[in-house]
């Protein structure tokens, strides 16, 4: 069967189907190799719901233990409370608190550590730089040493979407 053009109708239909499939796959964003050409496939997205207090809170797997973080794009590094650091097995009494940290509450001191991994609902990042705070910190902060290594962060009125 022939169409108005010179190509058979099924070739045109197959081409339209291929373009539609590639468009649908491309909307998700992951790359798959097909010979010398790359096709886009869906990437991993995770959403954190805004809490009643207006903040985004995330429970993360940190080195195999659960830690509740306040998501804080204004914090340059992941910052742990002493209590959370102890639960992770860090010896807070013997850490070197030699890093000055300027917080909303004033100047504090922190100890630099490297966490094996932080995984927020499947968005896992390995070897994350962090600080353990010497002074009182109301909550651990999920800062840019984790967030900045994601491929994308999108804020909506109700959710924060993390993509790795």
CATH code at 45-163: 2.40.70.10
Q: By CB neighbour count within 10 A (0-12 exposed, 13-18 middle, 19+ buried), where does 161 fall?
A: middle
**pLDDT tier, 14 (very low <50, low <70, confident <90, very high otherwise):** very low
Tell me the C-alpha distance between 58 and 121, whole Å. 9
pLDDT tens for 72-128 read 999 999 999 999 999 999 999 999 999 998 877 788 899 999 999 999 978 999 999
Number of other residues whose CB lies within 10 A of the CB of residue 163? 14
Boundaries of every domain in the chain: 9-42, 45-163
Tell me the C-alpha distance between 107 and 8, whole Å. 74
The DSSP H or E segment spanning 61 is strand 57-62
């Amino acid at each position: 069967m022939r169409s108005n053009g010179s190509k058979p109708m099924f070739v045109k239909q197959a081409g339209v189907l291929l373009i539609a499939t590639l468009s649908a796959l491309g909307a998700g964003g992951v790359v798959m190799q097909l010979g010398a050409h790359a096709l886009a496939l869906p990437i991993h997205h995770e959403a954190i719901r805004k809490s009643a207090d207006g903040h985004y809170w995330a429970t993360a797997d940190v080195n195999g233990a659960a830690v509740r973080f306040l998501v804080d794009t204004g914090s340059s590094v992941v910052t742990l409370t002493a209590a959370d650091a102890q639960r992770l097995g860090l010896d807070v009494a013997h850490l070197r608190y030699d890093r000055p940290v300027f917080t909303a509450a004033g100047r504090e001191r922190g100890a630099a550590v490297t966490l094996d991994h932080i995984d927020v609902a499947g968005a896992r990042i390995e070897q994350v730089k962090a600080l353990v705070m010497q002074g009182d910190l109301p909550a651990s902060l999920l800062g840019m040493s984790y967030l900045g290594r994601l491929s994308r962060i999108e804020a909506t009125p109700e959710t924060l979407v993390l993509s790795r």
